[in-house]
Structure 1
Amino acid sequence: MSTVPTPLRDTADDIDGRVLETRLISLGREDFARDVWGRTPLLTRGAGDFSDLFSAASVDELISRRGLRTPFLRVAKDGATAPESSFTSSGGVGASVADQLDDTALWRSFADGSTLVLQALQRTWEPITEFATRLGTELGHPVQANAYITPPQNRGFDDHYDVHDVFVLQITGTKRWILHEPVHPDPLRDEPWTEHRAAVASAARGEAYIDTVLEPGDVLYLPRGWLHAAEAQGAVSIHLTLGVHTWTRHALAEQLAQSALELLREDPEMRRSLPLGADGPGAELAVVRRRLAAAIAESDPTPLFHRTRRGQARPAPLGPLAQLGALDGLGPGTVVRLREALEARLEGRRLATRVGWLEFPETDLPSVVRILDGGTRLAGELGLPFVERLLRAGVLVPAEP
């Protein structure tokens, strides 16, 4: 049996499940990758109707009925963020958690011109959970989702840049977006715009690269580092921001260096103490450089890359009662499928996933390959003990026949 890792063929890879080309851009995937991705903004007019993802009713339900806590919401006005204590309170009897959202306080803040920011919607709103999962699988980079609800003629944040790429989906109302070219191209995740505050303010006073109004159904793609500010027009504006936390060459270099350092731990020469009385690296530096270069040439950061990537997102939701029902009724005719967004890979005899890893005997490897190929499978085809083990592990889930 080959030991080459087998990637998960998630349903988001199926043509019918793709969302980038069908819902966000008018370009083909190859054109977008070559000419736009990470390079320049892209405005797509009338990309589609996003009411299946989010709406004004979604905002009201999340704020008033879901018992959300911080940090799932923040409040901003004129570039300043309000303290959490100003819009949270206890949940009352049976739910006395001090930081639940206070819908009355939030209403008053919103009526006074504040922008409400619902954060991490990929964790709290099911339609967006599925959408963000599919987009992240297509792009190969994790995706988060925030919603910005801005009163008429107000802006929540001053000119700034993000350290991740974004797709802006206008849901309701209209919003004017003003974009300027980067002052610090391709910022890393630990290089926020506040480190370049003066340069950002200066650039924002110059001629805009794009000055446009987004209407419902429009999509704006912004690479990280591009300066932007947005202001609602004559009505309440709701837009979704899909933040794409891009992997970079720098991040890969960090993992390569980490892998090399792990190799050097096993090198007796590298564990030696520096000479007595050493007040600097001196001649030792040449030895370290030589051995570090050799370790880098020998290192393979791929396992660490996939391990880190698996930890950056969550698998598709799993219902414990449905899972128990599948176990209780398990038989040859039970239909199962691989849980989505597991980032599953077969490495030798080990299946690595976001919910842990499992080691298999050689006799089970053909069944592992079958489930990685996607689609639904009969438990009798895979083997009942095999299916039971993966149902208990949360790797397989029941499927409709």
Structure 2
Amino acid sequence: MRVSEPWLDDPLGYLIGAERVVEFLARGYERDPLVVHHNAPKRFEGLLSIDAVDRIVTGTDLREGQLDMANASRQMMRSDYLDGAGYVDRGAVAELYRAGSTIILNQAHQLDPTLGRLCRGLEHTFSAHVQTNLYLTPPNAQGFRTHYDNHDVLVIQIEGEKTWRLYDKPIDTPYRGEGFELGKFEAGELKQEFTLKAGDCAYVPRGLMHDALTPGDAASLHITIGLITRTWADLMLEAVSEVALRRAEFRKSLPAGYARTGHNRASARAYMAQLLNIAAQEALLDPALDLIADEFIRSRPADNRFALRDAIKPVSADEKFQLKRHAHFRLAEDGDKLVLICPGGELDFAPTARAAIERALNGKPFAPSELGADDATTIAARLLAYGLVERF
């Protein structure tokens, strides 16, 4: 049975407003910040609360890396809030929080099923790995100095208020490995200042310098949703690699002595020009994009909640199933077998099962008896086990 939550059908629309989604994806995404004041303080209350964070921090044996702390006015070390065994020292966390430090719960979607479902929905929208960090900042405090992130973020204000300041973009769409280095980049001119209140949302593209502080006498809780994307550079590398598998010219060794000082590179430049011309003529988008898509799909955690319960309940020919919301999959042929690429790996089927599988995964409720395959109940059971379908 499907979970009923208001953000699941259109998670991005729920965050920024459904009327903004098309324009945002076409023109704003990766380019310009977006601030949305929903004027609805309870809009996101179903996602999280300060009480929920308190339960996680005080009721979970958090290990190093799951919880961090930050304070813009001082250098913090993990030894400040970890015990000798690598566990979070809850008393130290409370003391540091009371003294003005921000509590950060990293990868919070792995701790909270609701945030996990939100991430899966956004992954379906962006075809990107989506992660969440939680930031609980005490009153009149600032967790971080001015910096940029090397991935795009959506900020959801859950409780309290936070004032954000946006500056210049010293590096445009940085690589994942181009993290901010203190002292290397200047904040530049203040371009925008705004305050997020409970129920508001903002988008900050990667590379944009920013900072945020909690004004007044109330704590602030916000969720930062990070979008970890693949780039056109990734696609080009895969496309050229695919050409190299077919063309021996790309696999030849570099010139003898190329590393010596004074080596004449004229012939190497000419040969590289030939290779670029071949790549321009023969590099194909579809095989490279399929490879990247398959890697993404396989790397997603399978949404197989209740799989153990369902495993001992026989699948009958007449009971109804449906495709799970935001399910990732791709159907492909591999020699003499049909491969269903899905989170966690892949499933092999006989080519004759294509019509049945396509029917099962077209989004409409189905019964195995409607699939037109002799092994229809087995097909449904396998799709159920891997979290692609659920009982209707």
Q: Does 1:135 align with 2:109?
A: no
- Mind listing any 5+ residue stretches in structure 2 that lack a counterpart? none
Measure, in 2, the Cα distance between the counterparts of 1:44 and 1:270. Answer: 50
Measure, in 2, the Cα distance between the counterparts of 1:19 and 1:164. Answer: 19
Q: Does 1:71 align with 2:58?
A: no
- Which residue pairs with 1:100 in the alignment? 87
- Mind listing any 5+ residue stretches in structure 1 that lack a counterpart? 1-10, 91-97
Measure, in 2, the Cα distance between the counterparts of 1:334 and 1:350. Answer: 25
Q: Does 1:17 align with 2:9?
A: yes
Measured after TM superposition, the shift of residue 364 of structure 1 is: 0.8
Moved more, 213-222 or 77-86: 77-86
Matched positions, count: 372
Q: 2:342 aligns with which of 321, 343, 353?
A: 353
Measured after TM superposition, the shift of residue 130 of structure 1 is: 0.9
Deviations 1:21-74 (A, max 9, x none): 233236432222233222211111126411100101110111111333232211
SS at match of 1:101: coil
Tell me, yes or no, if the aligned pair for 1:351 and 1:359 is still in contact at 8 Å: yes
Flag the 1:178–1:389 CA change in 2: closer, same or farther, 3 A.
closer
- Which residue pairs with 1:241 in the alignment? 224
Measured after TM superposition, the shift of residue 236 of structure 1 is: 0.7
Query: Which TM-score applies when normalising by structure 1?
Result: 0.83
User: In the alignment, residue 68 of structure 1 is paired with which amino acid?
Assistant: L
Within 5 A, what are the aligned runs for 1:20-31? 20-25=12-17, 27-31=19-23
Flag the 1:333–1:179 CA change in 2: closer, same or farther, 3 A.
same
Measure, in 1, the Cα distance between the counterparts of 2:364 and 2:65. Answer: 36
Q: Percent identity?
A: 26
Measured after TM superposition, the shift of residue 319 of structure 1 is: 3.4
RCO (CA 8 Å, sep 6+): is it higher in 1 or 2?
Answer: 1
Flag the 1:116–1:398 CA change in 2: closer, same or farther, 3 A.
same
SS at match of 2:301: coil
Measured after TM superposition, the shift of residue 284 of structure 1 is: 5.2
- Which residue pairs with 2:33 in the alignment? 41
Measure, in 2, the Cα distance between the counterparts of 1:397 and 1:170. Answer: 33
Measure, in 2, the Cα distance between the counterparts of 1:77 and 1:19. Answer: 31
Q: Does 1:379 align with 2:368?
A: yes
SS at match of 1:192: coil
Flag the 1:150–1:272 CA change in 2: closer, same or farther, 3 A.
closer
Measure, in 2, the Cα distance between the counterparts of 1:233 and 1:276. Answer: 64
Flag the 1:82–1:147 CA change in 2: closer, same or farther, 3 A.
same
Measure, in 1, the Cα distance between the counterparts of 2:179 and 2:103. Answer: 21
Flag the 1:166–1:25 CA change in 2: closer, same or farther, 3 A.
farther
Q: Does 1:308 align with 2:295?
A: yes
SS at match of 1:157: coil
User: In the alignment, residue 386 of structure 1 is paired with which amino acid?
Assistant: I
Measure, in 1, the Cα distance between the counterparts of 2:252 and 2:289. Answer: 29
Measure, in 1, the Cα distance between the counterparts of 2:7 and 2:52. Answer: 28
- Aligned-residue RMSD, C-alpha: 2.9
Within 5 A, what are the aligned runs for 1:137-156? 137-156=124-143
SS at match of 1:138: helix
Tell me, yes or no, if the aligned pair for 1:87 and 1:101 is still in contact at 8 Å: yes
Q: 2:193 aligns with which of 211, 216, 233?
A: 211
Q: Does 1:62 align with 2:62?
A: no
Measure, in 2, the Cα distance between the counterparts of 1:120 and 1:37. Answer: 23
User: In the alignment, residue 130 of structure 1 is paired with which amino acid?
Assistant: R
Measured after TM superposition, the shift of residue 81 of structure 1 is: 5.9
Measured after TM superposition, the shift of residue 242 of structure 1 is: 1.0
- Which residue pairs with 2:316 in the alignment? 331
Measured after TM superposition, the shift of residue 305 of structure 1 is: 1.4
Tell me, yes or no, if the aligned pair for 2:322 and 2:361 is still in contact at 8 Å: no
- Which residue pairs with 2:183 in the alignment? 197
Deviations 1:168-222 (A, max 9, x none): 111111111111121112111111221x734324x1xx3x211122111111111
Within 5 A, what are the aligned runs for 1:153-232? 153-194=140-181, 197-201=183-187, 203=188, 206=189, 208-232=190-214
Measure, in 2, the Cα distance between the counterparts of 1:99 and 1:376. Answer: 48
Measured after TM superposition, the shift of residue 78 of structure 1 is: 1.6
Measure, in 2, the Cα distance between the counterparts of 1:275 and 1:54. Answer: 59
